[in-house]
């Protein structure tokens, strides 16, 4: 099994997914075939009734002010997912750059949890690319291969299970070392990168 296949077995959900009830309602179905986690700080924000303030940092401003607040049913689904807290050894390289960004503490902690999960485990499931922009601001090497993979995305996302989810636009991000991937993986044969990158797909 290649590194990419291993990464596709487990996901952590970005807060941006909460901006769409359709996306949230698909999570229980997706969880039948893989493990899905949520940042522990996002759960705390829901519990403390400040989730709306958190979401504005994970959706683009032009979109955020036109979307309804998450319904109680959506919040319940998110609260039912396994929770993940970051491990400091996985985030050492971004802790200090992150402290220089003008973001609320809970938003910074969510980014730490997501980055730690990517380093330690698997993939990040998003609706918007704003989190990717936060990572770029932290100096994380990022590459978007959406267009380059357009002829291969059905094969890749068929493994994830998104092929059965119609009408929804998802983004999946991985932090990978190309040296650990099989040469026949379409991502690496097209991109040709040999160091750690954050790869973004838009199925």
189 has a pLDDT exceeding 80: no
Residues 6+ apart with CB under 8 A from 180: 3
Q: How many CB atoms lie within 10 A of CB 59?
A: 22
154-186 residue pLDDT tens: 666 665 566 555 566 777 787 765 444 444 455
Q: Please state whether beta strands 142-144 and 196-201 pair in parallel, antiparallel, or not at all (unpaired).
A: parallel
Burial classification of residue 162, based on how many CB atoms lie within 10 Å of its CB (0-12 exposed, 13-18 middle, 19 or more buried): buried
CA 203 to chain centre: 14
Query: Can you give the pLDDT at residue 166?
Result: 53
Q: What is the phi/psi pair of residue 36, to 5°?
A: -125, 130
Q: How many CB atoms lie within 10 A of CB 127?
A: 24
Coil/strand/helix, residue 50: coil
Residues 6+ apart with CB under 8 A from 56: 64
Task: Please choose, from the candidates 79, 85, 81, the residue with its C-alpha nearest in 3D space to the C-alpha of residue 30.
Answer: 81
Q: How many CB atoms lie within 10 A of CB 105?
A: 8
Tokens representing 10 are: 């487990």
Residues 6+ apart with CB under 8 A from 156: 4, 149, 186, 187, 201, 203
Domain range summary for the chain, segments of one domain joined by + = 3-201
43-76 residue pLDDT tens: 999 999 999 999 999 998 888 888 888 999 999 9
More confident residue, 5 or 153: 5
Confidence of residue 193 (pLDDT cuts 50, 70, 90): very low
Read off the DSSP letter of residue 48. Answer: T
Coil/strand/helix, residue 13: strand
CA distance 117 to 135: 14
**Cβ contact 8:159 at 8 Å:** yes
102-144 residue pLDDT tens: 999 999 999 999 999 998 777 899 998 899 999 989 988 887 7
């Amino acid at each position: 099994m290649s590194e990419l296949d291993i990464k596709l077995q487990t996901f952590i959900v970005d807060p941006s997914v909460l901006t769409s009830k359709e996306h949230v309602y698909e999570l229980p179905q997706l969880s039948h075939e893989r493990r899905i986690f949520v940042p522990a700080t996002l759960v705390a924000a829901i519990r403390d009734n400040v989730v709306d303030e958190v979401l504005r940092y994970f959706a683009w401003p032009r979109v955020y002010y036109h979307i309804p607040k998450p319904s109680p049913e959506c919040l319940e689904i998110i609260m039912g997912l396994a929770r993940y807290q970051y491990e400091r050894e996985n985030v050492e390289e971004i802790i200090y750059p992150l402290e220089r960004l003008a973001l609320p503490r809970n938003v910074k902690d969510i980014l730490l949890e997501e980055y730690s999960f990517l380093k330690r485990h698997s993939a990040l499931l998003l609706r918007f690319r704003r989190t990717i922009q936060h990572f770029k601001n932290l100096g994380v090497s990022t590459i978007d291969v959406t267009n380059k993979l357009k002829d291969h995305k059905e094969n890749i996302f068929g493994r994830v299970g998104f092929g059965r989810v119609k009408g929804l636009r998802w983004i999946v991000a991985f932090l990978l070392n190309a040296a650990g991937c099989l040469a026949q993986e379409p991502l690496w044969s097209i991109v040709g990168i040999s160091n750690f990158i954050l790869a973004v797909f838009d199925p």
